Amino acid sequence: MYVDRWGRRWPVVAGIPFLRRGREALADRALAHLEAGDERSALIELLGDQDDWWPFALPDQRGRARALETASLRAAMDALGYGPVGDYFAYRWSDPTFLSGLALLERHGEAHGPLFELGCGVGHFLRELHLRGVEVGGGDVVFSKLWLARRFLVPEAHLVCFDARYPFPLQAGGYDVAFCHDALHYLPDKLLAVAELRRIARCVLIGHAHNRLVANLSAGSPLAPAAYAELLPGAVMYDDAELAGAAREAHAPRPGENLDCAAAIALAWPPEQRRGPSLTRARPRARLRLNPLLDPDSLELRWPSERYREEYEALSSHLRGVDRSAGEDELYRRRVLLDLPEAW
């Protein structure tokens, strides 16, 4: 159990505090199960929660119970009714937006941490960082995403479920780096969120923030590049595509000047370059596997759904025309070979 500064009690399930405001009734039901010694039922309660904008049906109790028995990330997301969002998480390792985040962390992060990721989802970046010796923590508004991260990707992370519309339940100055990737454009109070990131860390990295001036299939409520710059005065800014290209081609990313035509941008504050962990090269002795988007025989792209194809086909040129004789480092940078979790 977690008690906040106002004396309100909140449940802690699977080691994850559930502190989401506006869900007090749900929290009370989970607490009642915990007080009865039934953590499984408390977990099933919390696995039914989602974002306020969630467009799909929520999983029924049987689906949530079935998720507890699954043996892989994909099966658990299917049981929880993740739908297209499940495809996004299952194949995110080959997404250019994932590469851009790796490049940003490598250029401006810290080699050991600690690092906190806001909107960490199921823990893709946290896993990459932890495997390279960085102490990591993450927060998300959706409890089930954090539970998936705990179970399948990064059990060692410090995770907390809370709503970024309010002050974060985190200690001031508790982290070296605060990271928020492919999430800021969905937050209603961006000014507060960035102020809180600055409060908890001495370095703030914002990755893949959608540009209001460019159409996007899953736009959220983005800002124009100049407005993002006002949130982090003095930050260095990048075209997100430049960061992804730098990761694939093994060169230093070049900061952008006029970013009005960039589909998404990234910011690093303060602007000084650091020596972050090596994220665009495979870990020594990592068990690399062929990207599941590629046919094992022909290496042609195959898509998990038409929606996924619609969103990512134009962004997947790096997976076409694969040279089988290329070195492991190049195949890893191009996302032909991936370091997937064992229970993918």
Q: Which residues lie closer than 8 Å to 114 by C-beta, 6 or more apart?
A: 134, 135, 136, 137, 174, 175, 176, 177
* Residue 281 scores a pLDDT above 80: yes
Question: What span, in angstroms and rounded, lies between the C-alpha atoms of 106 and 128?
Answer: 11
Over range 320-338, report the average pLDDT: 91
* Residue 276 scores a pLDDT above 90: no
Polymer length of the chain: 344
Can you give 38-96 as a three-state secondary structure string? CHHHHHHHHCCCCCCCCCCCCCCHHHHHHHHCCCCHHHHHHHCCCCHHHHHHHCHHHCH
Question: What span, in angstroms and rounded, lies between the C-alpha atoms of 186 and 121?
Answer: 13
For Cα atoms 197, 221, 94, give the angle at the middle one, nearest 5 degrees: 75
Question: What span, in angstroms and rounded, lies between the C-alpha atoms of 242 and 342?
Answer: 31
Give the pLDDT of residue 219. 64
* Residue 263 scores a pLDDT above 90: yes
Q: Where are the alpha helices (DSSP H) in the chain?
A: 24-35, 39-46, 61-68, 73-79, 84-90, 96-108, 124-130, 143-148, 190-200, 225-231, 240-249, 306-312, 328-333
Give the pLDDT of residue 237. 98
pLDDT band at 133 (very low <50, low <70, confident <90, very high): very high
- Determine the longest span between alpha carbons in the chain, in angstroms: 62
* Residue 286 scores a pLDDT above 70: yes
3-state secondary structure of 181: strand
- Of 108, 110, 57, 55, which Cα lies nearest the Cα of 80? 57
> Of the ranges 153-157, 179-183, 218-222, 328-332, which one carries the lowest mean pLDDT score?
218-222
Q: Are 88 and 217 in contact (CB under 8 A)?
A: no
Token pair of 343, please? 């229970």
pLDDT band at 181 (very low <50, low <70, confident <90, very high): very high
Our measurement of the distance from residue 16's CA atom to the centroid of its chain's CA atoms, rounded to an integer in Å, reads 17
* Residue 298 scores a pLDDT above 80: yes
Give 201's DSSP letter.
E
At 65-97, the pLDDT tens digits run 999 999 999 999 999 999 999 999 999 999 999
Decide which of 275 and 153 is more confident.
Answer: 153
Give 134's DSSP letter.
-
> What pTM value is reported for the model?
0.96
Q: Are 105 and 205 in contact (CB under 8 A)?
A: yes
* Residue 150 scores a pLDDT above 80: yes
Token pair of 2, please? 């977690």
Query: Structural domains in the chain?
Result: 2-82 (no CATH), 92-269 (3.40.50.150), 289-338 (no CATH)
* Residue 101 scores a pLDDT above 90: yes
3-state secondary structure of 146: helix
> Of the ranges 138-147, 246-255, 307-316, which one carries the lowest mean pLDDT score?
307-316
Q: Are 10 and 3 in contact (CB under 8 A)?
A: yes
Give the pLDDT of residue 111. 85
Q: Are 161 and 142 in contact (CB under 8 A)?
A: yes
Q: Are 39 and 47 in contact (CB under 8 A)?
A: no
* Residue 147 scores a pLDDT above 70: yes
* Residue 158 scores a pLDDT above 90: yes
